Amino acid sequence: MAKEVSAKQVLSAAEEIVVDVADFGDAVNAEVRYHTGGRRKNAYVYIEVVASEWRALALWLKKTKQVDYCSMITGIHWPENADASWQVVAHLLRTGVTNPAVVNKRVHEIKVDIGGLSGNSTPLEFEISMTIPDTREPSVPSVADIWVGADWNEKETWDLVGIDFDGHVGMRRVLLPHDSPTGYHPLQKQHKLRYHDFNEMYDDPQGFGRKPEDSGRVK
């Protein structure tokens, strides 16, 4: 019995998704990508989607492709890039977890036959990316009702990055204090860390070795 999912199983499942997702037309751009580190260079599905189509894609993945698990939704701020200054990245997994069956009034735990997994039952990783042009109020549709696991991820993304999620019920601060100023989202790039671009920190943390700008000049 196979001990883990083989690269071949993953690749064929990923290719199937990329072929089927073409139904969405220009709004969705999918490809098979490969991890580049470690012992295995397993495939995963990378999808670029127009933000307005994200909900439709999510529903399709959930219903047709049994993608049942939202691992992470996060946001990135690219202030130097006016066409895509906000990016939302969602990582999904297909786990294939089901409730164990009841046989003769007894529950029997599931031990998956790993070698026999194929098609929609193969565990697979998805990376989904969408970008939003420069705006003061970035927003993408919420998927918290499709995967409840996305709920707190979206709260966190709004809290830290400032990207809002349309249709999200009960958006609030989760990691920052409740009374943080409106519009303050610390992972936006205009908020600099004290030591950004300051490499001398490690040699001279106290700054004793620093000299004034006019040092050595005739006064």
Partner 1 sequence: MAEMWISMGPQHPMTHGLWTLKVKVDGETVVDTEPDLGYIHRGVEKICEARDFTQITTYCDRLCYASANTWSHAYIYAAEDLLEVEVPERAEYIRMVAVELQRIASHLMWLGAYCPDVGNLTGMVWCLREREMMMDLLQELGGSRMHYNFPRVGGVKRDLPIGFALRCRAKLKLFLDRIQEYEALLDESTIFLIRTQGVGYAKAEEMINHGVSGPNVRAAGHNYDVRWAHPYSIYDELDWEPSVERPSIKGSDCYDRYRVRVEEMRQSALMVLEGLDKMPGGADTHYQSGDPAIIAKAPARAAEGQTGYHHFEDSRGESMFYLVGGGDERGKHPYRVSIRSPMFITIPYASKCMIGYKIADIPAIMGSFDPCIGETDR
Q: Which stretch binds partner 1 (CB under 8 A): 15-23, 132-140, 141-149, 204-212?
A: 141-149
Give how many residues touch partner 1 by CB under 8 A: 58
Q: Which of 17, 61, 130, 151 binds partner 1 (CB under 8 A)?
A: 151
Question: Per-residue x/- mask for partner 1, residues 118 to 137, rule CB under 8 A?
Answer: -----x-x-x----------
Q: Which stretch binds partner 1 (CB under 8 A): 48-56, 85-93, 131-139, 209-217?
A: 85-93
Binding of residue 48 to partner 1 (CB under 8 A): no
- Residue 24 · residue 30 · CB < 8 Å: no
CB of 207 to partner 1, least distance (A): 17
How far is Cα 94 from Cα 100, in angstroms, rounded to an integer? 17
How far is Cα 120 from Cα 64, in angstroms, rounded to an integer? 9
> HSE (CB half, 13 Å, CA atoms) of 9?
18
Question: Per-residue x/- mask for partner 1, residues 57 to 76, rule CB under 8 A?
Answer: -----------xxxxx-x-x
How far is Cα 156 from Cα 115, in angstroms, rounded to an integer? 38
CB of 148 to partner 1, least distance (A): 5
Q: Which residue, 98 or 118, has its beta carbon nearer to partner 1?
A: 98
Binding of residue 32 to partner 1 (CB under 8 A): no
Binding of residue 111 to partner 1 (CB under 8 A): yes
Q: Which residues contact 121 (CB under 8 A, 6 or more apart)?
A: 66, 96
187 exposed, middle or buried (CB, 10 Å; 0-12, 13-18, 19+)? middle
Binding of residue 162 to partner 1 (CB under 8 A): no
H or E segment at 63?
A: helix 54-64
53 exposed, middle or buried (CB, 10 Å; 0-12, 13-18, 19+)? middle
How far is Cα 145 from Cα 164, in angstroms, rounded to an integer? 15
List of residues contacting partner 1 (CB under 8 A): 3-5, 35-40, 42, 68-72, 74, 76, 89, 91, 93, 95-100, 102, 107-112, 114, 123, 125, 127, 147-153, 156, 160, 173-177, 186-187, 191, 193, 195-196, 199
